[in-house]
Amino acid sequence: MATFHFELVSPERVLFSGSVDSVVVPASEGDMTVLAGHAPAMSTLKPGVVTVAEGKGNSRRLFVRGGFVDINDSGLTILAEHAIPLEDLKPEMIANDIKNAMDDVADARTVDARIAAQSRLDGLKQLQSALVN
């Protein structure tokens, strides 16, 4: 199978940079699988799991929230607002964060604060769901 260059970058660090067989991306228009020779495209990310197939049965799964996807002749680049390998997540920490986010939604005094708190809660629930699947 033909390979291509993939890079996943968050504000904190480069989480992945290398040659891959395929990458499944949670684009805002829906999940898309990127293979070598994919047509150029750009999209925003929705909260979800990026699945990276490195070849020989090796794969990595990373949760992303917010950011952009750029597919061009050089390969695939994801610039994520937040990204973390699934193996680094602890279910009890996520459950506690969800409880706190629910409290934030209930305590929000303005529409903008409620929307921001609800968005954070929705992202955390997506993250919790990704851990289960």
Does residue 29 come out as left (phi exceeding 0), alpha (psi in the -120 to 50 range) or beta? alpha
What pTM, to 2 d.p., does this model score?
0.78
Tens-place pLDDT, residues 73-97: 999 999 999 898 988 888 888 888 8
CB 15 within 8 A of CB 49: no
Tens-place pLDDT, residues 101-116: 999 999 999 999 999 8
Tens-place pLDDT, residues 17-26: 999 999 999 9
**CATH number for the segment(s) 4-87:** 2.60.15.10
What pLDDT, on a 0 to 100 scale, did the predictor assign at position 133? Answer: 65
